[in-house]
Amino acid sequence: MQSVGIYEAKSRFSALIELVEQGEEVRITRHGKEVVRMLPVRRRPVISDEQIARELGQIDALHASIRPAAEAGALDALRRKGRAAA
């Protein structure tokens, strides 16, 4: 990633575009604050297949750790209790 001020970006615009075409991210700042972020149109995926598989595994583990829902009769009792309190 490269960060440049507006004045420098104006004078080096073609070179910055070439960097972006090569996959580089360019940020343009004004008074030290980012105002523009130039990204290549086609980027590499942000998350890899391995990360996706790991996240799905963690979701499956979470689902397995969640207690099953209470029996229907218990749910009805909770509903009646809640309605009576209101």
- Kind and range of the H or E run holding 70: none
Distance CA 35, CA 13 (A): 15
Tell me the β-bridge partners of 38.
26
Q: For the whole model, what pTM was predicted? A: 0.47
Name residue 27's amino acid: R
Average pLDDT over residues 63-74: 73
What pLDDT was estimated at residue 71? 65
Topology, domain 2-38: YefM-like fold (3.40.1620)
64: pLDDT strictly greater than 90: no
pLDDT digits (tens, 9 = 90+) for 19-59: 999 989 999 999 999 999 999 887 666 788 899 999 999 99
Distance CA 20, CA 28 (A): 12
